[in-house]
Each structure stands twice: as structure tokens, then as C-alpha cells.
Amino acid sequence: MLELIFSALITIVPDYLYRHYKQGKRWGHEITLFNVWYELRWGLTACAILAVTLITVIFYFHPSTHNVSAAFRTVTVLSDRAGRVAEVYVQNNDQLKAGDPIFRLDTTRQEAAAETARRRIDEIDAALGLMTTEIAAAEARLSSATADLNQARDDLDRRQSLAERNNSTVSEQELERLQTAVSRAESQQAAATAALDGAKLRQTILLPAQRETARATLQEAENEIAKSTVFAEVDGTVKQFLLKPGDIVNPILRPAGVLVPDVTGQGRFIAAFGQISASVVKPGMLVEITCPAKPLTIIPMVVGDVQNAIAAGQFRPGDALLDQQDRVRPGTVTVFLAPIFPAHLQDIPPGSACVGVAYTSRAKEIEAGEIKGFSAFIARLVDGMGIANAIVLRAQAIVLPVKALVFS
């Protein structure tokens, strides 16, 4: 409307004044409702062309958007494992500090496993204490076997000496019996040595390894018990939390609730502009927004960053080829806004939906001499046209409460 009024003032009005004062034509006589097109055709045509041109220039260099929101992050309240809830320490909408417990899962099975591991450690420690006695007994058996072997060898050597001096004194069967006794004694000594070595291996390797395994099992059970209590990782407020003792929690299918961090989203707005504004919207650009959560207020912002990718073009490999015509929405340019005066964002809750207008300004380029002459004049003229969108935004700020409360 503003562009149309401005265009009419410099096209239709001069055309009418020319025909009235120069040609003597009067409204209601020579100029009537039926021949106004013929009489004012030059002004009407110029007004239409100029209005369309102005609207195009203004909305291109000063884009507006109805999709501005105070984005914020949420943290899903999850447990590391599925289980039944044993205790709940908080209620919905409670304020939490980092490290505060939220709820605890039932740990009966884990506690039983931990107690079994402790009993196993005690059993292995007792076995290690008994290994000293077993090693002493094995050493005694080895000494006995060694003594028997020495005795058998002495008897064999004595009989062999007698047999060498007088063959008739010692029979061949006795020598074979003594030789068998020596072999049996050697076998008993080898068995006693092996038993002693086995006892020492059990004392130094097997039982310590079993004890470490039992300790690892105990540590695993204690870790499961510790992870059964879910704590708040950040300061925030718990939302959608209706958990009760006896409920089943599953980290994949059934989260417990949502934690909204206190610092998330503060002063950070996300705006979506049309793709035609991709070459205009740049970091450092001034933006004004107004939100229903804080009516009758214009909040100045600045473009902090522009996402260099449009979400509508993303794809994930699958078992079907991508058809571009399946993408209905063309996507928008995502822009991140930061407040110039953070105090203006008070009383605006995270997630609020707002409208905004961005303003192109090339004053720095003109002052630096990058834009000169007639181009500088046109640039200042185009930058000044942003006042039309500024007026519209303020009109929206005034009308917004009326629309929401009366005409919604």
C-alpha cells in the first residue's frame, strides 16, 4: 500500500494536474469514471510499473520472513539400559543442577551378581592361603620320593657290585626287581615334582588370574549399579516427566522425559528466508523482529551466521533412487540471529515464533569508496527504501495482539 501511494503521487497526480491545468479538463466533466483510463492512461501505466518495481526492489534488498523462532536444545532423559524404575527423585518442572539424581532403576540382579563376585574373591583368597600348605605337602612328597629313589638306586648299585664279584650270590630276577623299583621311584619323583610345579603355578598364576577375573566381574556389577541411577548432566528444568516407580524405561523405545538446559537458546534466534534472498542476506546485516510473546516491541538483531546449505537438498542413501520431483518444498536459507541489546529478549521464552525484516545497508562500501557516483546514489536510495518494510513491521507489531486476541 505504501509503495502504491508513493507511486501514485509521482505518476497519477502529475498526469491529472497536467490535464486539469494545462488542458483544462475537469473531474466529473471531461474526466469521468468511465473515461479515467483513457485520460490518465500514462499515469496509471507508469504507476503500475513503478509500484511493481518498488515492491520488487524493496522485498529483494530488504527481505522479510514470518518464520523466526528462538531455537533451543533439549536433552533426553535416558538410562544406559532398560529396566524397571525403583525410585524417582524429582517431579515434572523441577529445577535441577548438574549432578542431581533423577531416578534409579531396580538393581536386584546386579547386586546379586556383585555379591557373587565378592564371595568368589573371598573363596580365591582362601584358596591362596591353602596353597602354602599344599606346596609344603608337595615338597614333602617330593623329598620322600627322592629319598626312595636314592634308596632304590643304592640297593641296585650294591646288588650289581655283588653280582659282578660273584654271579651266584645275586640272581637275575632280583636285579630286575631292583631295576623296576628304581624306575618306579623315578616315576614317583617326577610325579611329585610335577605336583609341586602345578601347586606353584596355581599359587602364582591361576588363582591370581581367577581373582582378577572375579574383581572385574565385581567392577562390572558395581558399574551397572552406578549406572542405574540417572543424573542430570547440565543445569536445567525437567519437562514431560511423569515417571513413577514400577514403570519400564527403555533407552530406545521409551525415554523418561526431557531436560531443557538453562543456557540453551538464550539470545539465539533462527530465521528462514526465501532462496531468492540467498545473495542478499549476509553476516552483519541488521534485522528487526517482533514476537507475540512480547507484543508492541521491536527487537533489533544482527545476522551472526548464514548456513551455507539448504536443508531441502539433503539425502540419505537408501534402497530407492531419489526423484527430485518428490521434494515438494524448495527449502529456505537458514540464518542465525544474535541480539544487539540482550536485555530486549527478556520475557521471550525459548521456542517463541516471531516475524522479522532484514535491511540491506551499503553505507560502509560507500564511505570506503567502493561504490561511487550514480551507483552510490542508487545504493543509498535502495537502502532508504527499507523504511517501507520498517513501517509494515511496526504495523504488524500493533495489529498482532488484535489479531491474536480478537480475530483469531
Please tell me the predicted confidence (pLDDT) of residue 175. Answer: 65
64-92 pLDDT per residue, tens: 999 998 888 888 888 888 888 899 999 98
C-alpha to C-alpha distances, 268 to 19, 186, 265, 354, 364, nearest whole angstrom: 57, 88, 5, 13, 26
Q: What's the fold here for domain 108-227? A: Four Helix Bundle (Hemerythrin (Met), subunit A) (1.20.120)
Beta pairing class for 257-261 and 294-306? unpaired
Q: Cβ(265)–Cβ(245) under 8 Å?
A: no
**Cα 132 from chain centroid (whole Å):** 57
Taking the whole predicted model, whether its pTM rises above 0.75 is answered as no
Q: Within the chain, which residues score under 50 in pLDDT?
A: none
- Per the listing, cell 491474536 goes with 404
DSSP state of 113: H
**Is-contact 59 38, C-beta < 8 A?**
no
Task: Enumerate helices (H) and strands (E) in the chain, giving the number of each.
Answer: 10, 14
Closest to 128 measured CA to CA, from 192, 178, 188, 200: 200
For 194-219, the pLDDT digits (tens) are 888 888 888 888 888 888 988 998 89
Q: Quick one: how far is CA 383 from the chain centroid?
A: 40
What pLDDT, on a 0 to 100 scale, did the predictor assign at position 358?
Answer: 94
CA 81 to chain centre: 19
The pLDDT value given to residue 265: 56
Q: Which of 122, 187, 183, 173 is nearest to 152 (CA)?
A: 183
pLDDT of residue 370: 85
Tell me the CA end-to-end span of the chain in Å, nearest whole number. 24
CB atoms within 10 A of CB 357: 24
Structural domain boundaries in the chain = 1-60, 62-72+265-312+329-408, 80-105+229-261, 108-227
Yes or no: say if 79 and 59 are a contact pair by the CB < 8 Å rule: no
Question: Any bridge partners for residue 182, and if so which?
Answer: none
Residue 371: what pLDDT?
Answer: 83
The owner of cell 529483494 is 60
Question: Edge to edge, what strands does the sheet with 101-105 contain?
Answer: 229-231, 101-105, 83-88, 248-249
* Architecture per CATH, 62-72+265-312+329-408: Beta Barrel (2.40)
How high is the pLDDT of residue 302?
93
CB < 8 Å & 24+ apart, contacts of 396-405: 396/290, 396/355, 397/290, 397/295, 397/296, 397/297, 397/298, 398/296, 400/290, 400/292, 400/295, 401/292, 401/295, 401/296, 404/292
Cβ partners under 8 Å of residue 216, min gap 6: none
DSSP category for residue 263? S
E strand or H helix at 301: strand 294-306
- Measuring CA to CA, which residue among 338, 343, 357, 332 is closest to residue 265? 338
Cell of 198: 602345578
Topology of the domain covering 80-105+229-261: OB fold (Dihydrolipoamide Acetyltransferase, E2P) (2.40.50)
**How confident is the model at residue 378, as a pLDDT?**
87
**Grid cell digits, residue 48:** 503500475
For strand 101-105 and strand 229-231, is the pairing parallel, antiparallel, or unpaired?
antiparallel
Q: What local confidence, expressed as pLDDT, does residue 169 receive?
A: 61
Report the candidate in 161, 153, 146 with the shortest Cα–Cα distance to residue 178. 153
